[in-house]
Amino acid sequence: MLRSKSIIATPPGTTIKEQLEDRGMTQKDFAARMGMSEKHISQLINGDVRLTPETAEKLEMVFGIPARFWNNLEAIYQEKLIKAQAENEMDEEKEVCKKFPYRELEKEHWVPEAKTTEDKIVNLRKFFEVARLKYLQDTELQKIACRKLGVTEKSDFALIAWVQEAKREAREISVKPLNRKKLRDALPEIRRMTTQRPEVFCPRLREILSECGIALVFLPHISGSFLHGATFYDGKKVVMGLTVRGKDADKFWFSLFHEISHVLESHIDKEQGADANDEKQADRMAADILIEPSDYAAFVHSGQFDADSIRHFANKCEIDEGIVVGRLQNEGLISYSWHNGMKKKYTLS
């Protein structure tokens, strides 16, 4: 017997037991009459095994009750069993559902509008393409390389949702087989895009990465995720998702090259995903790709961080001046309040 809040699933074995009691028949005697083992009869009475059509025919002979009655009891039991299990699992998943930023996912049209928690759970199951939300912990979703600034339980659930949407959108993008050499050769051209507007560089950037085997997806920031970008395999396709936290261009380009570094260094190939050392390596590589280390060292040594000096250095490096400002701010060489007017803001879709 299985209970949920509104359903009681009673196995046909309960009725069999009642018949035995009414007739004063022992299970041993009953087993002999049925031509079955006592163990099987015990399992039948407890609902541990199904009542088959063959068993129903035997019950008709022993009890004189039509086989269709027993078959109907079994069908009703199985139907209620499934509903009771689903109801109990729904209750278990309500706590999991609360951890997802559902209203934000709804606002982005990733999931349909929902008025009840039950509707949210069903919509999330369909969004994640899993029969139950609890199965998410057994998926490959954690094997990703990503750039984020904090780790909380809330951020992990927001990240899982963000990655799933990146997967879904990447399915519409055709890519060639992954070619790391081609990607490395394309770095100078991608780097020069930092001086262009998004409407100019986005189509070309997507084209280049597609030729290298990467499906590039731009997604909105999900509150609490601390996420800038993530890269992972979906089947044989490499998916790279990027967002713009705060819409700062310098953060966008650093995140892009951080994710590219994960691909170049094969961090995405690791069984358990990128680790802390991989993240540090990707940070270092991203910084070095954007500004050649010896050039940056000479610039820092000069100690000239006024707007004109920064602009001159950026022009010499053929990169956006805001990237230089962001690097100096991040390394504590200038205050975060300095030169923010030199930093561009992007709106990507």
Q: What is the pLDDT of residue 6?
A: 74
Residue type at position 137: Q
SS3 letters for 265-285? Answer: CCHHHCCCCCCHHHHHHHHHH
Domain boundaries, position 117: 102-130
Shared domain check, 111 and 44 = no
For residue 3, name the pLDDT band (cuts at 50, 70, 90): confident
Average pLDDT value over all residues in the chain: 89
Contacts of residue 69, Cβ cutoff 8 Å, sequence gap at least 6 = 56
Task: Give mean pLDDT, residues 301-315.
Answer: 94
Residue type at position 175: V
Distance CA 240, CA 228 (A): 11
In a domain, 236, yes or no: yes
Distance CA 256, CA 129 (A): 28
Strand positions, DSSP E, the chain? 2-3, 8-9, 145-148, 214-218, 227-234, 237-242
Give pTM, 2 decimals: 0.73
Total structural domains in the chain? Answer: 3
For residue 150, name the pLDDT band (cuts at 50, 70, 90): very low
In a domain, 117, yes or no: yes
Exposure on the CB side of residue 203, measured as CA atoms within 13 A: 2
Contacts of residue 255, Cβ cutoff 8 Å, sequence gap at least 6 = 147, 228, 229, 242, 243, 286
pLDDT digits (tens, 9 = 90+) for 241-269: 988 665 788 889 999 999 999 999 998 88
In a domain, 243, yes or no: yes
Residue type at position 296: Y
In a domain, 109, yes or no: yes
Report angle CA 69, 14, 23 to the nearest 5 degrees.
Answer: 85
Distance CA 157, CA 162 (A): 9
> Checking DSSP bridges between strand 227-234 and strand 8-9, what pairing results, if any?
unpaired
As given in the structure block, the two tokens for residue 152 are 């909380």
In a domain, 348, yes or no: no
Shared domain check, 235 and 155 = yes
Closest by CA to 12, choosing from 50, 42, 64, is 50
For residue 186, name the pLDDT band (cuts at 50, 70, 90): very high
For residue 184, name the pLDDT band (cuts at 50, 70, 90): very high
As given in the structure block, the two tokens for residue 78 are 């199985």
As given in the structure block, the two tokens for residue 190 are 């991608």
48 to 12, 206, 312, 321: CA distances (angstroms): 11, 56, 79, 71
What single-letter DSSP state applies at residue 345?
B
Shared domain check, 31 and 165 = no
> Domain containing 33 — which CATH number?
1.10.260.40
Shared domain check, 106 and 89 = no
Strand positions, DSSP E, 45-135? none
